Amino acid sequence: MSARYLYIHVPFCLRRCSYCDFAVHATPTAPVDEWLDCIDRELELVRAEQGWGRLDLATIYLGGGTPSLLGPGAVPRLVDLLGRHAAWPGDVEFTAEANPETFTPALAADWKAAGVNRISLGAQTFDPKVLRWMGRMHGPDGPARAIAAARNASIDNVSIDLIFGVPARFNRDWTGDLERVVALDPAHVSLYGLTAEAATPLGRWVKEGREILSDEDSYAEEYRTAVRMLTQAGFEHYEVSSFARPGRQSRHNGAYWTGEAYIGLGPGAHSFFPPRRVWNLRSWDAYRSALAGRMLPRDDEETVDAAAQRLEQIWLSLRTKGGLDLNGWSGRAAQLGEQWQARGWAAVDGGRLRLTPEGWLLLDRLAVELEGVA
């Protein structure tokens, strides 16, 4: 069977944010025609490589980068070209990421007409000082304007991204940020802890001693505060970093967490054709050059062997509210879960091991520990 979950990467941004480690090409104007041609050609080559006929998609996710930088007209054209390769039901989850400064009422109407029914909005913070430091181009009121544009276009499934753990020197009002998000009443909230990746400006600042990240205690306390405030506001904490109104969980991301096959198109995109994982060249220039030569723009690949698959199953299961089914695992796994439960890190019931928010703060460490005894 072919993969049913499709991710398409838009690498274009007006500029790179200080913390961003994604495959991004800074440009004032997105080369829409060339990008669409590349996506069309890559999908054709992927189908040929896999021996797939017409695809039957369950979700479509347009990520970035800044998809909203494509402007009106691009997504309808994308839908037309995808229709030559795939079909999807009327209730498909079709997500597109947007930045507030480029998400206009005209674009919202354009996306709605093309079938987009979920927006992932990059707010990150409402603090003007932190927005400038991050390199974000919208002001504190940008998210409210963008959500209004989505709702006026009858797109009510809006997710907001927030970043926690910013340097203490900013004295950012994290509680105030959360209150503003709750007041906007989105369908979904995603939290991201700030990290300093080596290739980013932030990574260089930290390495050179010009910036100091939030300490572990402050980082953990901000996470706890978010969990408390969002769950009290009626959001379900269904994954380590994800909160949703009832029925508004991300179906696309759920495919990643359950180990489903998926297709990734565009610079830096990953695909998983079990047990094979492949990923694309990150550079826009290298990506389009490969496709101009009728070659898949692959950077590298790996085969997920049994040991790696076992660890991934543990890690992916523990990061969700559903947890890990202990049936088939050793008794030592259940014993370890009971030890975690005594420390407030997990709950064991009905043969399932589920991490608490305190356990989710230790997710990577606990997954490795469990793999060692399971």
**Cβ count within 10 A of residue 125:** 25
pLDDT, tens digit, for every residue of 134-180?
999 999 999 999 999 999 999 999 999 999 999 999 999 999 999 99
Give the tokens for residue 161.
């991204």
Q: Hey, what CATH topology would domain 307-373 get?
A: Arc Repressor Mutant, subunit A (1.10.10)
- The number of beta carbons lying within 10 Å of the beta carbon of residue 183 is 9
CA pair distance 343, 366, nearest whole angstrom: 12
Query: Measured on CA atoms in the order 103, 287, 267, 38, is the torsion positive or negative?
Result: positive
- The contacts found for 144-147 with CB under 8 angstroms, 24 or more apart, are 144/184, 145/100, 146/98, 146/100, 146/103, 146/119, 146/121, 147/121, 147/184, 147/186
Peptide bond into 65 cis (omega under 30): yes
pLDDT band at 331 (very low <50, low <70, confident <90, very high): confident
Neighbouring CB atoms inside 10 A of 28's CB total 8
CATH 1.10.3470.10 fits 5-257, yes or no: no
How does residue 310 score in pLDDT terms, banded at 50, 70 and 90? very high
Vertex 131 angle, CA 125 and 132, to 5°: 170
Neighbour order of strands in the sheet with 324-325: 324-325, 352-355, 346-349
Sign of CA dihedral 203, 205, 209, 212: negative
One-letter amino acid of 26 = A
Give percent above pLDDT 70 in the chain: 100
User: Percentage of the chain surpassing pLDDT 90?
Assistant: 98
Q: Tell me what the mean pLDDT of segment 339-366 comes to.
A: 96
Tokens of 136: 């974000």
What's the pLDDT score for residue 162?
98
- Fold equal for 5-257 and 307-373: no
**In the chain, where the domains are located:** 5-257, 307-373
Task: Determine the Cα–Cα distance for residues 235 and 206; give it in Å rounded to an integer.
Answer: 34
Of 152, 201, 158, give the one whose Cα is nearest residue 24: 201
Please state whether the predicted TM-score (pTM) of the whole model is above 0.95.
Answer: yes
Q: Are 140 and 128 in contact (CB under 8 A)?
A: yes
Residue 255 has pLDDT above 80, yes or no: yes
The single-letter DSSP state of residue 156 is: -
Question: What pLDDT score was predicted for residue 138?
Answer: 93
Q: Phi and psi of 244, rounded to 5°? A: -140, 150
